[in-house]
Amino acid sequence: MQPFRISNVTIAVDGAAVHGSVTVRDGRIVSVEPGAGTAAASGEAVIDGRGGWLLPGFIDLHVHGGYGADFMDAGHEAYDTITRFHSRHGTTTMLATTMTESRERIRAALDAADEYVSAPMPYARLAGVHLEGPFVSPDWMGAQNPAYRVDPKLDWLQEWHDAYPSLIKQMTLAPEREGALEMIAWLAERGIVASAGHTDARFADMQAAADAGLRGMTHTFNACRGLHHREPGAVGAALTDDRIHAELIADGHHVHDAAMRLLARAKPPGKLTLITDAMSAAGLEDGTYELGGLPVTMKDGVCRLVEGGNLAGSTLTMEAALKRFVEATGWTVPQASVLASANPAYLLGLSEQTGSIAAGKWADLVLLTEQLEVVGTWVSGRRVYEAQQV
């Protein structure tokens, strides 16, 4: 790859803004220089950022699909479609997120993801799989299919892990269900993020789960027991227990702006992550779609189950999530960028390679206008998206 420099940009560096340039060579960041910096080296291409933002590439821990494809489709073409779509919106790394489906279909999705990551990935990279279900609460199914819900079965998880070592990076489960604490401890021992979601857990259940190794709260505020002043529930635990890393769908539909501000004030800056929870309808027009085998209607960009009307995933992109979070909370762009890059990189154990802009790290970068519209995305220094105006 030709070495290149992105100049005339405001760079997000560890939550602060630095105006300058970033130089990339052989897929890695070589230098971050404030101000005008040194002259470009011979053979080095120069990209004028036009005063925009240069952020670390976004890392989406919870995404089901986009542009008509779903990770449960379990095919190379579908995975290309999803990773291509989200790379256009600044995502450079993601977890292929499954649904509560049959044991066989989950195994097929794992098989497809394992095959996909073993070959060169042309767009955003898959860092592994997030298993959302099937070990969830029957009381908080959300858009999960109740026909396939089961209580935790460690032998299933062991089988999947043995067949695809190191592929499973996160698992969403209901920690109050029988067998869940044993499963959480098993996940923690292997460095897999155990996250509470689709759960009726009370505050004490969440505390016991955190003691066992629970590290996350899936789409905080959604599909779980809410906050009550006498029974704080799963939300209360997510807000107050610093062992728990909270996901947030910042689209204004799943979570009110005021609740975003509450979460932003309650959690340490390193314990909050922006996600999309995007489904196949993301990037498409209003109409009828499917999620986890259940029919979904999208109207005005909001997806709901045809039967019951529950919210069904989202049509959010990481670029839009960042923008909405900044507007809702008053955080600066560099501060919010940490929630979209550094924090998820930490959860995945990738902080040494990506998640921030620093010399030696993968050149996972996203260039945005001052209005936070993506105009360029690079994965390990390879440009995977370029808007016409750049």
CB 127 within 8 A of CB 95: yes
Q: Is 247 annotated as a binding residue?
A: no
d(Cα 34, Cα 178) in Å, to the nearest integer? 55
CB 20 within 8 A of CB 379: no
CATH level 3 topology of 57-348: TIM Barrel (3.20.20)
| Residue 260, helix vs strand vs coil | helix
Q: Is 197 annotated as a binding residue?
A: no
d(Cα 244, Cα 265) in Å, to the nearest integer? 15
Find the catalytic residue in 277, 286, 300, 364: 277
Residue 108: its H or E element? helix 103-117
- Name, in order, each residue with C-beta under 8 angstroms of 280's C-beta and a sequence gap of 6 or more: 64, 65, 66, 67, 68, 69, 70, 289, 290, 291
Q: Is 62 annotated as a binding residue?
A: no
Residue 84: is it exposed, middle or buried by C-beta count within 10 angstroms (0-12/13-18/19+)?
middle
Taken as a whole, the chain contains a residue count of 390
CB 257 within 8 A of CB 323: no
- Name, in order, each residue with C-beta under 8 angstroms of 302's C-beta and a sequence gap of 6 or more: 253, 311, 315
| Residue 382, helix vs strand vs coil | strand
Residues of the chain with pLDDT under 50: 390
Other CB atoms within a 10 A radius of the CB of residue 155 amount to: 7
The runs of H, that is alpha helices, within 4-102 are 76-87
What are the φ and ψ backbone dihedral angles of 382, each rounded to 5 degrees? -100, 125
Alpha-carbon 388 to chain mean position: 27
Residue with tokens 């955080």, as numbered in its chain: 331
Q: Is 222 annotated as a binding residue?
A: yes
pLDDT reported for residue 390: 43
CB 240 within 8 A of CB 206: no
What are the φ and ψ backbone dihedral angles of 215, each rounded to 5 degrees? -120, -15
Could you tell me what percentage of the chain is helix, strand and coil, using 3-state DSSP and rounding each to the nearest 5?
A: 30, 30, 40
Q: Is 311 annotated as a binding residue?
A: yes
Q: Is 258 annotated as a binding residue?
A: no
- Among candidate residues 12, 60, 100, the one with its CA nearest the CA of residue 248: 60
- Among candidate residues 373, 372, 350, the one with its CA nearest the CA of residue 361: 350
Q: Give me the architecture of the 4-55+354-386 domain, per CATH.
A: Roll (2.30)
In the numeric block, which tokens belong to residue 252?
Answer: 């204004």
CB 321 within 8 A of CB 250: yes
Q: Is 228 annotated as a binding residue?
A: no
- Among candidate residues 45, 50, 40, 44, the one with its CA nearest the CA of residue 19: 50
- Packing angle of the helix pair 103-117, 154-163 (nearest 10 deg): 20
277 is catalytic: yes
In the numeric block, which tokens belong to residue 385?
Answer: 């998206």
- Among candidate residues 171, 252, 254, 192, the one with its CA nearest the CA of residue 220: 254
d(Cα 235, Cα 250) in Å, to the nearest integer? 16
- Among candidate residues 95, 181, 164, 162, the one with its CA nearest the CA of residue 131: 95
pLDDT reported for residue 156: 98
pLDDT reported for residue 389: 56
* Strand segments (E) across 292-352: 294-299, 302-305
d(Cα 359, Cα 240) in Å, to the nearest integer? 35
Provide the residue ranges of all domains of the chain, joining segments of one domain with +.
4-55+354-386, 57-348
d(Cα 230, Cα 227) in Å, to the nearest integer? 9
